[in-house]
Amino acid sequence: MTNLTDLTLAAARDGLRAKKFSAAELTRAYVDAMLAARPLNAFISETPVIAKRMADESDARIAKGEARPLEGLPLAIKDLFCTKGVRTTAASHILEPFTPTYESTVTSNLWRDGAVMLGKVNLDEFAMGSSNETSYFGPVENPWRKQGENKSRVPGGSSGGSAASVSGHFAIAATGTDTGGSIRQPAAFCGIVGIKPTYGRCSRFGIVAFASSLDQAGPMTRDVRDAAIMLQSMCGFDAKDSTSVDMPVPDFEKALTGNIKGLRVGIPEEYRVDGMPKEIEALWQKGADMLRAAGATIHPVKLPLTKYALPTYYIVAPAECSSNLARYDGVRFGLRKKADDLVGMYEGTRGEGFGREVRRRILIGTYVLSAGYYDAYYLKAQRVRALIAKDFNDAFQHVDVLLTPTAPSAAFARGEKTADPISMYLNDVFTVPASLAGLPGISVPAGLSGEGLPLGLQLIGRAYDEETVLRTAHVLEQAAAFKAQPEKWWNAA
Ligand code: GLN
């Protein structure tokens, strides 16, 4: 029999139902793989006891013929989703001792559908970062390394632990969250699929907030079918989140028809940024050729305000972060530093509890929201944001989906960009515009760089049209036939 941890989520689902193996066996295989993968530092909390209990319950259900959609499938959960009775840290010192008394809606939906929790995975602190290097719990290693090199590569961020665990086959799939690219960019860096649905599709209830008008949950998986299956469970209206949309959730797996005849694919010229490596440009062209060969038509489109997306994002996101993170004051959650007076306690707690990047964002956010600067920065950014959304709307009058690279480079080396925050922020150049406009975006692994590292292509769709995004991604995936796997160097030790 093939190795259980090599099965996709769809194959494992079908294998469990056909009783080829049990949920307990599948979970055991993943728990072993998770423990063996400790050198990658992907997990903040391992929950093998909970996993065993959930798997046993799944086996009982399967025996009775009552399997639910994700019955017995072992998932890694980004440590930004509150899990009742299980520590939830957001990879921050300030939440290090925090154990929620409630469950996020997205994880509740996954457990409702029978999934098994393996543990909570590492991320950039409060999801602020593009390399998983801002975590209080230390950086995550990408399972992929440059050919012939023994040096660590970053897995991307902020959902770095999620991406590494799926890519390294020590979780069958994972949850991620995406504020400006945190699902799509790590998916690209680790050679897996990641979809950020339309803003409002997944409830934000119980997800530690970073920038509330941008944050969205989504699945990170081995392939597009797995993404469709998992997204189905994660989505849905939730009265506990006022921005959750009350719309029926389509059958996403059914959307994978393999047929894109007549589909109009837009190529935004503005995404041809200076200094983009030739091989990424070539891959982008190849992606367009593959979609054309499958029956789509290719059209250049204009998104003139693209160059303002990053500066706009880096005003809006810090502004919302400074407001959201005001709640960590040592009184209600997590860490508390004792002091002689209240102000001393606030200062001590926040000064010690937040890392450098989070403090930088709180400072920027507080500045752009302060009297005298609010109109010049925050209000202006909101206006530009509306115009960026309009750019996309205009483009979608002529095309059905947009094709772009996911990131301007392959996974970089650890420490390469930490000294220069701006160069780190530039990583989000292709993912941030769709985030500002609230649109669905997926990253599909499409090839290897000259150094043997995975590269992703991004598809962006109309609001609430995840079906077209998934259908196109599925065709792209078949055509690209990306089968490469990272060497499991951590098993050799
Ligand atoms: N890298 C971006 C940032 O640092 C996006 C992070 C995210 O999507 N959570 O803000």
The per-residue pLDDT for range 224-275, each reduced to its tens digit, is 999 999 999 999 999 999 999 999 999 999 999 999 999 999 999 999 988 8
* Dist CA 353 CA 286 (whole Å): 46
Token couple for 66: 């009552």
Residue 181 in contact with ligand 1 by CB distance below 6 A: yes
Q: Which of 122, 131, 182, 406 to mutate to test the pocket of ligand 1 (most atoms within 8 A of CB)?
A: 182
What is the C-alpha to C-alpha distance for residues 172 and 347, in angstroms, rounded to an integer?
A: 42
Q: Which atom of ligand 1 is nearest to the CA of 183?
A: 8
Using the mean position of ligand 1's atoms as its centre, give its distance from the Cα of residue 128 in Å: 5
- Whether 242 is a known active-site residue: answer no
More confident residue, 351 or 275: 351
Tell me what the mean pLDDT of segment 140-152 comes to.
95
Q: What is the mean pLDDT of the chain?
A: 97
Rounded to an integer, what distance in angstroms lies between the CA atom of residue 50 and that of residue 41? Answer: 20
Give Cα 275 distance to the centre of its chain.
Answer: 26
Distance 214 CA to ligand 1 centre (A): 10
pLDDT tens column, 358-378: 999 999 999 999 999 999 999
100 located within any domain: yes
Give domain status of residue 359, yes or no: no
State the closest ligand 1 atom to the C-alpha of 130, by its place in the atom list counted from 1.
1
Tens of pLDDT along 316-345?
A: 999 999 999 999 999 988 999 999 999 999
What mean pLDDT comes out for the span 118-123?
A: 98
Q: Is 398 a member of any domain?
A: no
Question: What amino acid is encoded at 299 in this protein?
Answer: H
Tell me, using a 6 A CB cutoff, whether residue 128 lines ligand 1: yes
Q: Which domain holds residue 95?
A: 4-255
Q: Is residue 159 in contact with ligand 1, taking CB distance under 6 Å?
A: no
Strand 116-121's sheet: what is its strand order? 43-46, 116-121, 74-78, 173-178, 216-221, 193-196, 441-448, 454-461, 401-405, 264-268, 297-301
Average pLDDT over residues 389-405: 98
In a domain, 485, yes or no: no
Of the residues 45, 182, 409, 435, only one is catalytic, namely 182
Query: Torsion angle, CA of 147/423/382/467, rounded to 10 degrees?
Result: -10
Beta bridge partners of 405: 457
Q: What is the pLDDT of residue 493?
A: 59
* Catalytic entry in 158, 159, 167, 443: 158
pLDDT 10s digits, 36-62:
999 999 999 999 999 999 999 999 999
- Angstrom CA distances, 3 to 33, 40, 53, 71, stand at 11, 21, 22, 19
Q: Cβ(316) to ligand 1 under 6 A? A: no
CA distance 416 to 423: 10
Q: Are 61 and 71 in contact (CB under 8 A)?
A: yes
Nearest to 396 by CA among 449, 446, 437, 354: 437
Q: Where are the beta strands (DSSP E) in 16-65?
A: 43-46
Query: Residue 84's domain is classified under what CATH number?
Result: 3.90.1300.10
Does residue 2 carry a pLDDT above 80? no
**Residue 158 known to be catalytic:** yes
Residue 481 lies in a domain: no
Q: How far is the CA of 323 from the centre of ligand 1 (A)?
A: 17
Residue owning the nearest CA to atom 4 of ligand 1:
129
pLDDT at residue 492, as a whole number = 78
Known active-site residue 78:
yes
Contact 473, 193 (CB under 8 A): yes
With both helix axes pointing from N to C terminus, report the angle between 9-17 and 48-63 in degrees, rounded to the nearest 10.
50
Dist CA 333 CA 95 (whole Å): 7
CB atoms within 10 A of CB 269: 12
Looking at residue 274, what is its pLDDT? 85
Q: How confident is the model at residue 423 (pLDDT cuts 50, 70, 90)?
A: confident
Question: Is 103 part of any domain?
Answer: yes
pLDDT higher than 60, residue 1: no
pLDDT at 28: 98
Residue 335 lies in a domain: no
Q: Which of 252, 159, 158, 249 lies closest to 200, judged by CA? A: 249
Q: What pLDDT digit, counting tens, does each position of 11-42 carry?
A: 999 999 999 999 999 999 999 999 999 999 99
Total tally of structural domains belonging to the chain: 1
Tell whether 54 is covered by a domain: yes
C-beta of 357 in contact with ligand 1 (< 6 A)? no
| Tokens at 452, concatenated | 């043997």
